[in-house]
Amino acid sequence: MRRVALLVLDGMGIGPAPDTAAYGDEGSNTLGNVARAAGEHGLTLPHLERLGLGRIAPIRGVSTSVLPTAAYGLAQPASAGKDSTTGHWELCGIVLEDPFPTYPRGFPDSVIAEFSRQTGRGVLANHPASGTVVIDQYGPEHQATGSWIVYTSADSVFQVAAHEDTVPLEELYQACRIARGCLVGPNAVSRVIARPFRGTPGAWERTSGRKDFSLPPVRPTLLDHLAAAGIDRIGVGKVDDLFAGQGITSEHAATNARAFHLIEEGQKRLGSGLLFANIIEFDQSWGHRNDVPGYVSGLQELDAWIPRLQDTAQDEDLIIFTADHGNDPTTPSTDHSRESVPILVWGPRVRAVSLGTRSSFADVGQTIAEYLGAAPLAGGNSFLSEVVG
């Protein structure tokens, strides 16, 4: 009755990758910089500390002298790109040689014109922007004209914002499906994202109706291999969106607290197989908004929840904490950062050993495939024999 809980702490990088500077992210170190910004004494995270977090990389306030209870290591990104789709795909065995296209000067006129023609509405913005800033800038004109607010970021995303009182939510989703159909070939962005909002000028707020429309994976993933072997899969958070629904369904969670609840409920239902969760707020709520106090509070919330999660464990469980990229709230950028990510593997029968520096996130997926009895993945090297024996 083997189970694995793969918990992706979205945006929780732990220091530079070998090629961080090539992505314009020199100086990014999400956990390290957040700990320094937290004050003289750094972070107080006793449960993560006991798992071995401080032994992966220097984090102010997190001790290296506590005897770890989990296997611990660091994974470097091998894929080209630093977005959530790329990171999650790599965790599940796909290493991308070429990055998804990005649009630092906005999308081509031909793409915007076709999107406008098929949806029957005009387009505002069409440039890189913070989601909250672009709504502040264009929200009143959007409400007056009904035109879409289209924007992007440093990542490969086509984002469409609309006020829920101006455009019905299902129309926004249909517009994103249309955009997904337009964005093919050289313009095949990794995700089209619906960004509904509500409120009034000066008091806008994005709603929980966000929905991602991703490209389907280019090769079979861990999820496909598990499905082929008849192994159960439960999703929490946006994992179904990131894999275009291929191999998994998922219940979404707008907050970390909701994700924690759904993970606990999923563990109660799952007899064997994989629980795959995206824990979103380190990225969505705090990283992208450069909210250091929020990030610190989120880490404390995560740390306090860990004993509840451990109480759900069965004898042969593996619980894996990792991430998909960085999102350093201490830097001027509000975008993802190219970083290495932590790996913490805990379970009643796990050996508390160092996993060292792994050359790809895909090592995580390969380990899970081996543990659950699925076919090997195309990418990654399993560390199962190091942690379970």
pLDDT in tens, 295-336: 999 999 999 999 999 999 999 999 999 999 999 999 999 999
| Angle, CA 137 vertex, CA 134 and CA 140 arms, to 5° | 115
pLDDT of residue 154: 85
What is the distance of C-alpha 23 from the center of its chain? 18
Tell me how far apart the terminal alpha carbons of the chain are, to the nearest angstrom.
16
pLDDT tens profile 246-285: 999 999 999 999 999 999 999 999 999 999 999 999 999 9
pLDDT of residue 389: 74
Confidence check: pLDDT of 240 > 90? yes
User: Which burial class, exposed, middle or buried, applies to 314 when counting CB atoms under 10 A from its CB (0-12, 13-18, 19+)?
Assistant: middle
Positions of CATH 3.30.70.1250 in the chain: 109-213
* Mean local confidence (pLDDT), 105-129: 97
The CATH architecture to which 3-98+215-387 belongs is 3-Layer(aba) Sandwich (3.40)
pLDDT tens profile 74-85: 999 999 999 999
Mean pLDDT of the chain: 97
Lowest mean pLDDT among 124-128, 158-162, 177-181, 207-211: 207-211
pLDDT of residue 71: 98
Confidence check: pLDDT of 155 > 90? no
pLDDT of residue 281: 98
Give CA–CA dist 232/372, Å, rounded: 10
Give CA–CA dist 337/327, Å, rounded: 5
Give CA–CA dist 161/210, Å, rounded: 9
Tell me the fold of 109-213: Alpha-Beta Plaits (3.30.70)
* Mean local confidence (pLDDT), 119-126: 98
Positions of CATH 3.40.720.10 in the chain: 3-98+215-387
**Given pLDDT bands bounded at 50, 70 and 90, which one contains residue 208?**
confident
Give CA–CA dist 171/80, Å, rounded: 33
Quick check: 38 and 61 in contact, CB under 8 A?
yes
Alpha carbon distances (Å) from 140 to 134, 166, 311: 11, 11, 49
